[in-house]
Structure 1
Amino acid sequence: MESCEKTPVSGREIIDMAGRKVILPETINSVFAGSFYGYTMLASLAPEMIAATPMPARECDKRYLHPHLHDLPVIEKITEVDALAKVKPDVIVVWADKEQPFHKKSEAVCDSLGIPFVYAIVGNLGDVEDFPAAYEFLGKLLGCEARAARLAEYCRKTLAEVTTVVDRIPERLRPGVYYAECENGLATEFDDSLHAHLLRLMGDVNVHRGHIAEHKGLEPVTLEQIKAYNPDVIVAWSRAFVKNVLLDPAWAEIRAIRDRRVYAIPNAPFNWFDRPPCFMRIIGLKWLAHLLYPNDYAVDLVKETQQFYALYLDKEISAEEAGRIIAQEI
């Protein structure tokens, strides 16, 4: 992965995504994003510049992550003042939603530490449509414009090709999808949830309709509700759930079970669908479109996965390894 430029720029001014003028230090060597959203995007753009992580890397994921990310100090949020003072990044990225673009507590912490901060704004914190602009802004911030442009362009191209396919499918022919969360599959997301965003992009195919009341989601459901929905497809957090549910007589009458259209979501090094909603959603779009519309989106998903990992993670993987990632065997 090419390094971001670290050429001193005296008093460089930048306009952040909230429209604020920010004066940056002469040299940016390190950056902190106090959220999973910002951290994961930076991990694909400029991993060597990240000062701390909101989550320790899983051992099984380290082979896909830049070595600099393997053992970073863990700071879960910007308001951990003492921990943040120790790492003292050159700039802090505050990840924000379009509906609530300003975080006064985060601003107060940054000001108290004398660390400049910028806002990166993405709809619902994880809407893929806003990723290209976020990449381009962060590329400008960190001196990675060329790399950011490539990542943004791949994202735009993926959105365009998937949208073209979905728009051709009549609504009556779009499969209903149930998103099974937790080990027993009895939690899910409403159709307007940020956690189920990819299902909206697939033609608004989420069978669980309603309004998300809390950011965390994880709406409890009963098996009887799922039977009434009778989804065509189930996508799930857990590979163990997928294996077990196909053998469970209590679920047997559900169409997705009968047709064996139950899939574990790939999750190396981050989930392709949700938790955290991150740049892996870009390859997740291809994966989901291929599952739901195999005749209309007949891509070579193994090859697509290899290309994605090479571009976003600077990691060359074999076809066999890509297949294992897709099958959630890693």
Structure 2
Amino acid sequence: HDGVLIMIRRILLSVLPMLILSSALSAREITDMLGRKVTVPETPKKVYAPSPYGAYALYAMDPTLLAGWIFEIDPANYPYLHKSMQTLPMIGRVFGAGQSANLEVLLAAHPDLILMWSHVNEFSEKEAQKLQILNTPFIYAVDESIEDYTAIFKFLGKALNKEARGNQLSAYTEKTFTDVRNTLAKIPADQRPKVYYAEGLDGLSTECDDSIHVQLLKLAGDIDVHRCHTSNHKGFEKMSMETILGYNPDVILIQEKMFYDKIYSLPIWANVNAVKNKRVYLIPKAPFNWFDRPPSFMRIMGLKWLMSTLYPKQYPIDIRKETRSFYRLFMNIDLSQKQLDEVLRPSGDYRTKPIGATP
């Protein structure tokens, strides 16, 4: 620990002039989502978000504001991302393994604002205090449900001095939830499909219905077949094939392409209704996962995709048009026809007919 502190002090001395200069710039006071009064730069230039949730939300607001990223980016996703992501430093999450190296990169990035994320088991005040050595203000967004994104985008608009952008994303988000609620109000519970969320390379891991990792199933009609209380934040509840056969889901949602590619050839799955009726779907994830892990703002598009997949008659949207509009608004890119096909049909498999895909 002494070595880490010495390194931090050394780097701080090298960036102290910049810290002094930044403190002299115009500032304003805002109230964050925890009710804290915080003095922030009038127009932040570089923001660090140590939480996956915050980093993704910040990307949606303005990718050029990112001081650094938290995960290694698959180069295959670069065409779907802002060009700045190709050279963005990989800071990581600061806490945990690789802490000293991450802190060095973080200090060198000179963030003038830190976006913290208040969520169950995410960050404690003790961890937030570790970042105070930067002498950089930090603000909290509060996310207890995906539905909080309506307020989160408005808050980020104010905090980042980008109110028009925040209000635009907030309005789109709220309309999505409203349309879903209005649709489900007309569909009796016994007419909603039973869904099994298959995780892992064998499909034998899933989530309890109260988990953050399956909030979309809750919003899409409370249709998760696995009813239980989440034992830990990580999830991945282990399942037996006997239990899955007992559930006999109408629809299976799959995270891993390897499992999706082989499920129809596995005799043990052949008697499950979802497999018999070809209602097995691989979740889109370019450039960020639409459903989970991490549960980001992409779930807003994921909810539209899920509703159109489960209730095509009651929720008859043009998923290709909606996907294009979402990527244009949230990702600032115009998808080509080829990219659109790759996003909506990630497996390249024609055994099932993806909603909205051309023959």
Q: Residue 312 in 1 paired to residue 330 in 2?
A: yes
Relative to structure 1, is the Cα distance of residues 157 and 177 closer, same or farther in structure 2, using a 3 angstrom cutoff? same
The match for 2:125 is: 104
Q: Residue 18 in 1 paired to residue 40 in 2?
A: no
User: What aligned pairs does 1:173-192 form with structure 2 within 5 A after superposition?
Assistant: 173-192=191-210
Deviations 1:54-83 (A, max 9, x none): 112211111111111223222222434433
The match for 2:224 is: 206
The match for 2:104 is: 82
User: How many Å apart are 1:182 and its aligned residue?
Assistant: 1.0
Between the aligned partners of 1:53 and 1:107, the Cα distance in structure 2 is 18
Relative to structure 1, is the Cα distance of residues 303 and 27 closer, same or farther in structure 2, using a 3 angstrom cutoff? closer
Q: Residue 131 in 1 paired to residue 149 in 2?
A: yes
Where do 4+ consecutive residues of structure 1 move more than 4 Å?
A: 99-102
Q: Residue 57 in 1 paired to residue 81 in 2?
A: no
The match for 2:351 is: none
SS at match of 2:227: coil
Asked if structure 1 preserves the Cα contact closer than 8 Å seen for 2:194 and 2:223, the reply is: yes
Q: TM-score, normalised by structure 1?
A: 0.92
Relative to structure 1, is the Cα distance of residues 292 and 259 closer, same or farther in structure 2, using a 3 angstrom cutoff? same
Between the aligned partners of 2:126 and 2:136, the Cα distance in structure 1 is 14
Q: TM-score, normalised by structure 2?
A: 0.85
User: How many Å apart are 1:329 and its aligned residue?
Assistant: 4.3
Between the aligned partners of 1:101 and 1:58, the Cα distance in structure 2 is 25
Asked if structure 2 preserves the Cα contact closer than 8 Å seen for 1:302 and 1:319, the reply is: no
User: What aligned pairs does 1:1-330 form with structure 2 within 5 A after superposition?
Assistant: 10-25=26-41, 27-79=43-95, 80=99, 81-97=103-119, 103-123=124-144, 127-329=145-347
Between the aligned partners of 2:261 and 2:42, the Cα distance in structure 1 is 54
Structure 1 gaps, min length 5: 1-7
Work out the number of aligned pairs and report it.
319
The match for 1:5 is: none
User: How many Å apart are 1:240 and its aligned residue?
Assistant: 2.8
The alignment's C-alpha RMSD in Å is 1.7
Between the aligned partners of 2:123 and 2:265, the Cα distance in structure 1 is 48
SS at match of 1:271: coil
Deviations 1:226-272 (A, max 9, x none): 11110000000023312211121111011101001000000000010
User: How many Å apart are 1:201 and its aligned residue?
Assistant: 0.3
Deviations 1:64-109 (A, max 9, x none): 1111122322222243443322222101011112x67972123212
Between the aligned partners of 1:60 and 1:260, the Cα distance in structure 2 is 29
Relative to structure 1, is the Cα distance of residues 241 and 213 closer, same or farther in structure 2, using a 3 angstrom cutoff? same
Between the aligned partners of 1:53 and 1:236, the Cα distance in structure 2 is 27
Relative to structure 1, is the Cα distance of residues 143 and 231 closer, same or farther in structure 2, using a 3 angstrom cutoff? same
Between the aligned partners of 2:25 and 2:170, the Cα distance in structure 1 is 25
Identity %: 42
User: How many Å apart are 1:320 and its aligned residue?
Assistant: 4.1
User: How many Å apart are 1:26 and its aligned residue?
Assistant: 5.1
Relative to structure 1, is the Cα distance of residues 212 and 222 closer, same or farther in structure 2, using a 3 angstrom cutoff? same
SS at match of 2:265: coil
Which amino acid in the other structure matches residue 106 of structure 1?
E
The match for 2:3 is: none
